[in-house]
Amino acid sequence: MKKLFILLVGLISLGFCSFGVANAQANQVDLVLFYGEGCTYCSKAQVYLDDLQKEYPSLNVIEYEVYNDQENYDLLDETAFAYGVEVKGVPTIFINNDALSGFNDSTVSKIKGNVEYCIENECTSPLNQSLVGDGNDSLKNFIAPVVFVLITLIIVFFFKKHTGKKR
């Protein structure tokens, strides 16, 4: 019984270590670009994002052409609605909690700031943004460790109780 208890404590310790290792890795950052074929600013945004991907390998650029694809245009509308913004044209970029319309120095600064932030802090993919709420995963990230600790405490209490009855 004592060996089982030591094994349980060891497994619990490994579980806590794995939480730390997962958080130490760079997070994948999803950026969604809606663009139009032939759009000059869209082309500039695409070139910039290609270069940015070389600088930040964990950046995942997801592109949707909207001039010639109705489904992509509908996705742009749905994503804009989820972000609570009105589409003003293309390029339109979604990253973290930002919806960016157009492409200029201000947009570049915001994109890079969001990429750096999301590499350090896990951000929800723009395509997973909920129509209700802001897409924040902090509650989900909090619940898993709490449930793990509670289950561990119950198991320890159970083993301790049974160990006490045998004496």
Domains held by the chain: number = 2
Q: What is the pLDDT of residues 75-134, one digit of tens each?
A: 999 999 999 999 999 999 999 999 999 999 999 999 999 999 999 999 999 999 855 444
Identify the pLDDT of residue 129: 83
Give the CATH number for residue 36: 3.40.30.10
pTM for the full predicted model: 0.66
With bands split at pLDDT 50, 70 and 90, how would you rate the model's confidence at 149? confident
pLDDT: which is higher, 65 or 128:
65
Q: Are residues 110 and 77 in the same domain?
A: yes
Is residue 133 in a domain?
Answer: no
Decide if 13 contacts 43 (C-beta within 8 A): no
In this structure, the answer to whether residues 57 and 105 fall within a common structural domain is yes
- pLDDT (tens digit per residue) in 1-42: 565 555 455 555 555 544 444 444 689 999 999 999 999 999
Q: Mean per-residue pLDDT for 159-165?
A: 69
Are both 121 and 48 inside the same structural domain?
yes
Q: Which sign, positive or negative, has the C-alpha torsion 65, 67, 72, 76?
A: positive
**Phi, psi values for residue 133, rounded to 5°:** 95, -175
Note whether residue 111 is domain-resident. Answer: yes
**Domain residues for 143?**
2-24+138-166
**110 occurs within a structural domain:** yes
| Whether pLDDT at 58 is above 90 | yes
